[in-house]
């Protein structure tokens, strides 16, 4: 059985990342919890333990796919990709949330699953740390946006950078704040 969770549904920029994790039958890393309830350092430490002891798959839907499909369908695509990325196919999946999309095996949605299932908690940690690393790397590629700090989420600093610098290829053009900034570019002479 694998647990599946995602990170990055709400940001204005960057991919949505999903992870699928099959924990070992023994030697499960201690301290697994919803990634949002852990410090960044604790998440990173646990991610290393999870990768060393478990089967891990990661799936990504990029900003263009998010714009083409919508965030919900892009999230489902990333989840299916995460399961396909596992070194061994699972026979069943627990998925954090209300929906159980087609991920290539029978699945059940579990609301607040990252706090109720160790495998879903592990998946939430992997997805979050993987996505955070992408956004930290993006900070170097797109200086001035603050991606390393806000990870693409809609903060005041991100809005200021968006207004001043415009959009990047990482921005989700279907999201209202980015669409509004694009409209300004069209209206300018």
Q: Please state the residue numbers annotated as binding site for a divalent metal cation.
A: 5-6, 96
From the DSSP assignment, how many helices (H) and strands (E) are in the chain?
Answer: 7, 5
Calculate the alpha carbon distances from 9 to 87, 111, 161 in Å.
Answer: 25, 16, 20
Parallel, antiparallel, or unpaired for β 2-7 and 16-22? antiparallel
Residue 109 host element (H or E): strand 107-110
Query: Which residue has tokens 């940690």?
Result: 125
Kindly give the interhelix angle for 40-53 and 118-141, rounded to the nearest 10 degrees: 120
Which residues are annotated binding-site positions? 5-6, 96
In angstroms, the CA 162 to CA 4 distance is: 32
């Amino acid at each position: 059985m694998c647990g599946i969770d995602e990170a990055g549904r709400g940001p204005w920029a960057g991919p949505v990342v999903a992870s699928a994790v099959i924990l070992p039958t023994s030697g499960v890393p201690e301290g697994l919890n919803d990634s949002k309830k852990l410090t960044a350092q604790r998440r990173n430490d646990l991610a290393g333990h999870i990768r060393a002891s478990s089967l891990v798959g990661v799936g990504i839907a990029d900003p263009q796919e998010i714009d083409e499909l919508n965030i919900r369908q892009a999230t489902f695509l990333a989840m299916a990709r995460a399961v396909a990325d596992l070194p061994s196919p699972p026979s069943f999946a627990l998925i954090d949330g209300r929906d159980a999309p087609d991920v290539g095996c029978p699945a059940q949605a579990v609301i607040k699953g990252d706090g109720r299932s160790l495998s879903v908690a592990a998946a939430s940690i992997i997805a979050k740390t993987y996505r955070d690393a992408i956004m930290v790397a993006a900070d170097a590629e797109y200086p001035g946006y603050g991606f390393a700090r806000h990870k693409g989420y809609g903060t005041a600093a991100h809005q200021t950078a968006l207004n001043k610098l415009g959009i990047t290829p990482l921005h989700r053009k279907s999201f209202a704040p980015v669409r509004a900034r694009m409209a300004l570019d069209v209206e300018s002479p």
